[in-house]
Structure 1
């Protein structure tokens, strides 16, 4: 990408405001917010625009900025009148109006009073000439404050600039690094640190600063005294720093001057004042200017000062450990190990690995190896983690260390390596080696968790009961067993109880200084699934967002991104936002390690979205990738793939096969999946096969009741009511499908007015589903085909012969031929080629044709 190709995007409201400002406007904002580009975009198609670009050098001369627009020889008389008479352009644009000399500022003010449309840019919080200030103070023109880009605006700019989707974690990092400054953002992108990973742009490697960006930031920092530079260097390696500490290490006057120059910010944090650099990229430039010896000296000073102050804040141990390590002081394994644990808690996992390895190298022994193995698990290095766990397993350990090790190793074996059998063996051995009640209870609870993951709920029940029979549980044990109970509740279709239990446990966790990240993630996952089962999509989306935010500032906890990114895509799919679901699933899959126990859920969601959008080749590719890389350890890893395969089959025209697969899913699925499997049969057009079972499903909540009502609906009016019920819950795809089925049922009943109304409703709902192409919505593409006609038409469009279709559907060849002739007549085509062209159009005609009238 070149500088010239950087697109203009966003700022639509501000662009409209400037274009509609008949008297003009002053656009103010911090440096790099795109003020000049915005104004240029606003006036690019106007005639008679005069441009003035103010500079500090031009301000040395009266009217210096206007020199290119004025005659070469000034008059002997009134220079202001002469200049005003020479400027006849109806629109005057002044870039960096704060840099104007006094005479030029007066000229701009005079032109504004004369009726010239003045559009100016201004750096916020910068002294301006009185005549410029009077532009908006005297209400000659309005002042438009331009804020830095939000995260959402940054993502839109990146998509436009890169011509493709940007990973959400990458976009968040770029936004954090640039602070919404579009100039900085552009230079970061142009540095080349982004790579195109199968159509998804991702951040790879360290942050890179281009020479242009370095010069821009250095110019913004400006000249510094020795004390000022020292303060900025200390912040570059240690921010945030307490104001008292920074003053003790540097100088109060230097800090004060830097705050006045807006190079640092000072903000209250409890009873302390915390000082930070005004922009994250300032630290990159300052560090770049420090030599190795200077950097080590600064970090040693910081480590000593904070350690002497008593390590009073939770983050101090981590900060001192990192400073000492980076300064070459690696001799304290205890400090390094404490820093490793703190980095793991705050989910700076790569830093945790670095500190863990340093603790091992410094002689930290078995505790350091165990801690390193744990953080390797969190960073998806499951094989290396198991090697270390196995090494530590052979050491002499007390019961607490043995229990913790057995649980962590079993977790790594289960969700990391997919080896449930070995995980259960490790836990059984752990139970045998410990005698304390609390330790044995912990092993039983973990065995129940593994059994639940593997799909054996009865065994999980027995193990939890065994833990309770041993005696009262500790507070930690109560939380752990409640988490296991929550998973069982949602699996059995008890979402209300699950949500109440999760809320209770999380309220307790919130009162602790360091909430248990892994337990919190498990609880949020169960609660999200429970909300989905209730049809409460708002709560599900909120919870999935909370879970996604557990991955730390820079997205290092991949498992949280995978789990909750997939759940977010799932919620969007149920809302009918299929394009958004697809984008979210693709974003998630980009982080998927291979092999993985999460491949089934992540790739299943991706394939499902592709299938519902009619991109069946892409759906099958995702399914094949899951087959090759997935570790199918239980229902959560298998069921999403089977759902996606059913809808891919339906898209290929094999509706009968899709129905059969959904019925198979229903035979073995947990209750939380059972109702969706049965309802998919209804969506595929065969409610008679599942109506009785759906009526008997013992799952609480309005959604499953609506599924049963959908299956039992026997006329168009009832299907209309079902559609309205889905719409109230926010499930717009289901609502559109039910409305399309209502239209077909009305036609069968000879109620053409009702059919038209239902078809119009279905069409309107489908517009919100971002291109959905499902069996039920085929009626909007191919009106008045029966389910059998649609099925045969889809198979013929796939290239199957009449005999192959007859064999698949168990009908005669003559029946297939006669059905196809009827289809050709209704659609208006003459052969299979035209039929395939019609049915496989990339966009549904429902997306372009107007809704049918209601007669």
Structure 2
């Protein structure tokens, strides 16, 4: 018996199970057939039934070896009794499907209660399973945001998923499938969902309509609009869910797609009536909940009402806080022509990467009457739009705003904006002076000023290698954000991103991964804005590359790439740089150069933070072309940057490329906090093979597997030079084993590594030894002498350079 909701794939699964079977009969239960006794079996039974013992006559009339009873919950009592009789008599092999949420006849329930048939419940697909299904069906990966949207809409229902994909909501962009256009529902899907909803009385229909336009709604409010019996009946039929939400019960539709079907069935006038009712009812209750203001504003707009501009602006701010920028733009435009409305609209356009439009509205707002706080915000955000959005280094408005205000908090915020621009454009001295000035303020700072100082300082300390202080700033700001539920996601994303970079620089990849995952998942007030998701993708690709997971880095980088806006942006350089670097580390110089060529059109060049990621990628692109000397020269040039986040890795690149003597002293003196910089210095200073092997082990413990593989390969070369072939083989085997975990890595240090070759007999004995069997046990199992086993294992240890069974097991795992 296969049980599951409509669309779970019950029928398809059974069809696949019996596809190659002989003498298979199908019975499909329907509501119409249930009107007649044995109606579902009519096609399998003789025309004239006997006057007695109907069940035995019917069972003996079925000659199939396999019987499939589909939708058994809809069987009439006589048909259900026949199925139970057949199961009890073992007269035929039975496959029965039952839709959950229905009330099947007692005889069908007894099939599993009496242990006549085993139950196979079909659960909804998880997000990961949905990704696997889509990848197999589309022959390509679905972008993570699109996957989240698909899974959220379908809740893992295979039929709904299939119909959505077939409707064309996904498009292939360079091998990555993205959500494209509005949600489209096929006729099959609408009919399936309508059938699941079933017949409704007027009150139930009204309750579902109000939920479709206004969920979640309080149970009491919904009952007052319809009736308590209607709400209770919908819950019993599992069409709605009721959950505790603080001090009230919140009612939602049981599936997101129910709302799509219900809304589509409402005409224009009915829709307006519902929206009017919702807005009036919630407004009369006093807008007591945090999101009531936003919901009422949207309902009134959708209903065609004129709304108070102040309400629309407050709702606009709330929409921005809950990460819905398109809605925030709509509300700002509806708020009318005023300085505050233009400022709100400009800031939203900036966050949507529509920089030219944003500049127009910032100019309008600046020339209009504004409060001191709004004027400061206009100056700061307009400057960011000019510099970060349009590449015009014009900070005149910051100076003018500073001259106009005497408020200590506002002055600190303006200083921090000046510092942030300095960090991007390469003026670290100015940035440091501004941050120090802000921190030394004699006036107590409010949360907004404190947050600005912390986020700016975190960026600055990361750039200068003071990663411990940078991570302290991140922790302080995250605590501060807990007190600010309306925190801006772009700023939150930036602070978490800086924390991930600082953690990676300090050698703590686990902490960096945790912060990057927080950024990608939308936790901690980050949200799912495109810009924040783009940051998350770039940082995630970098961390995967540092771990040596180059294929995974390319996949994550590709997701970030498709999020780039259609105009030059400061995010393109880091994004393209990561992708190009991963290609180059895999030895694919052509692919790396192709990616770097796109920077001409996509990347906005402002300074080190936008340009150096591309320069770092060019180091390894040259190396992939075989120009190791050119790569070293490029690395030394990047290492001249005062931005130690780039200097640290560029100096180590020289070591990886085989010229440690050029940079050993500089690495030893580099003032970067954490365990990674000293380990880089150890790598540069290592002269003996044993020291390099110890460095390799340290890199592996920190999770930098590609660095571990390269230093082990360098150790192998040193052992060979010093006439120690056995130890050279061991180091080379270690390097080869680590390289297998680096997803196609092919750097100069790894070129020429040879696979440890074993004969079939050697591999057989080695496998048993690695499993922990003694030589005597192996001999007994393979009918060999103990001496033969011992001699074979000695040869295996020689070929692989491993000292014992434990090390041998690691090698065999990759062989």
| 1:299 pairs with 2:275 | yes
Whether the 8 Å contact between 2:439 and 2:453 is mirrored in structure 1 is no
| 1:240 pairs with 2:216 | yes
What are the within-5 Å matches in structure 2 for residues 686-705 of structure 1? 686-705=659-678
| 1:36 pairs with 2:11 | yes
| CA-CA distance at 1:67 after TM superposition | 4.5
Aligned to 1:219: 195
| CA-CA distance at 1:730 after TM superposition | 2.2
Call closer, same or farther: CA 1:213–1:719 in 2, change over 3 Å.
Answer: same
SS of 2:498 mapped into structure 1: helix
| CA-CA distance at 1:581 after TM superposition | 1.3
State the Cα deviation string for residues 16-72 of structure 1 (Å, max 9, x = none). xxxxxxxxxx33222212222333344545566554433333434444444555566
| 1:779 pairs with 2:779 | no
* Distance (whole Å) between structure 2 residues aligned to residue 553 and residue 292 of structure 1: 36
* Distance (whole Å) between structure 2 residues aligned to residue 763 and residue 207 of structure 1: 49
Give the alignment partner of residue 573 of structure 1, picking from 528, 534, 545.
545
TM-score, scaled relative to structure 1: 0.84
Aligned to 1:278: 254
Call closer, same or farther: CA 1:745–1:140 in 2, change over 3 Å.
Answer: farther
Call closer, same or farther: CA 1:499–1:141 in 2, change over 3 Å.
Answer: farther
Gaps of 5+ in 2: 758-809
* Distance (whole Å) between structure 1 residues aligned to residue 280 and residue 610 of structure 2: 50
| CA-CA distance at 1:554 after TM superposition | 13
| 1:341 pairs with 2:333 | no
TM-score, scaled relative to structure 2: 0.88
Aligned to 2:461: 489
SS of 1:667 mapped into structure 2: coil
| CA-CA distance at 1:270 after TM superposition | 0.4
| CA-CA distance at 1:415 after TM superposition | 2.3
Between stretches 342-351 and 451-460, larger displacement belongs to: 451-460
Give the alignment partner of residue 292 of structure 2, picking from 316, 327, 337.
316
| 1:268 pairs with 2:244 | yes
Aligned to 1:410: 383
Aligned to 2:303: 327
* Distance (whole Å) between structure 1 residues aligned to residue 66 and residue 735 of structure 2: 50
SS of 2:244 mapped into structure 1: strand
Call closer, same or farther: CA 1:410–1:605 in 2, change over 3 Å.
Answer: same
Whether the 8 Å contact between 1:173 and 1:554 is mirrored in structure 2 is no
| CA-CA distance at 1:702 after TM superposition | 1.9
SS of 1:493 mapped into structure 2: coil
| CA-CA distance at 1:327 after TM superposition | 0.9
Aligned to 2:347: 374
Whether the 8 Å contact between 2:490 and 2:531 is mirrored in structure 1 is no
| 1:756 pairs with 2:729 | yes
Whether the 8 Å contact between 2:33 and 2:40 is mirrored in structure 1 is yes
* Distance (whole Å) between structure 1 residues aligned to residue 733 and residue 267 of structure 2: 70
Aligned to 1:542: 514
Call closer, same or farther: CA 1:74–1:734 in 2, change over 3 Å.
Answer: farther
Call closer, same or farther: CA 1:553–1:521 in 2, change over 3 Å.
Answer: closer
SS of 2:640 mapped into structure 1: helix
| 1:100 pairs with 2:80 | no
SS of 2:125 mapped into structure 1: coil
Whether the 8 Å contact between 1:337 and 1:355 is mirrored in structure 2 is yes
Aligned to 1:710: 683
Aligned to 1:437: 408
| CA-CA distance at 1:84 after TM superposition | 4.4
* Distance (whole Å) between structure 1 residues aligned to residue 72 and residue 525 of structure 2: 38
Corresponding residue pairs, total? 759
State the Cα deviation string for residues 510-530 of structure 1 (Å, max 9, x = none). 133323423322211111111
* Distance (whole Å) between structure 1 residues aligned to residue 755 and residue 56 of structure 2: 73
| CA-CA distance at 1:467 after TM superposition | 3.0
Whether the 8 Å contact between 1:535 and 1:729 is mirrored in structure 2 is yes
Whether the 8 Å contact between 1:155 and 1:171 is mirrored in structure 2 is yes
SS of 1:650 mapped into structure 2: helix
Gaps of 5+ in 1: 1-25, 785-849
* Distance (whole Å) between structure 2 residues aligned to residue 853 and residue 164 of structure 1: 28
Call closer, same or farther: CA 1:396–1:75 in 2, change over 3 Å.
Answer: closer
Give the alignment partner of residue 628 of structure 2, picking from 640, 644, 655.
655
| CA-CA distance at 1:607 after TM superposition | 1.4
What are the within-5 Å matches in structure 2 for residues 79-90 of structure 1? 79-85=54-60
Call closer, same or farther: CA 1:687–1:351 in 2, change over 3 Å.
Answer: same
* Distance (whole Å) between structure 2 residues aligned to residue 463 and residue 338 of structure 1: 33
Whether the 8 Å contact between 1:691 and 1:711 is mirrored in structure 2 is yes
Give the alignment partner of residue 525 of structure 1, picking from 494, 497, 522.
497
Aligned to 2:474: 502
State the Cα deviation string for residues 401-449 of structure 1 (Å, max 9, x = none). 2211111112222322232x20x22212211222233322221122112
State the Cα deviation string for residues 522-551 of structure 1 (Å, max 9, x = none). 211111111211232222222112223449
| 1:426 pairs with 2:423 | no
Whether the 8 Å contact between 2:297 and 2:307 is mirrored in structure 1 is no
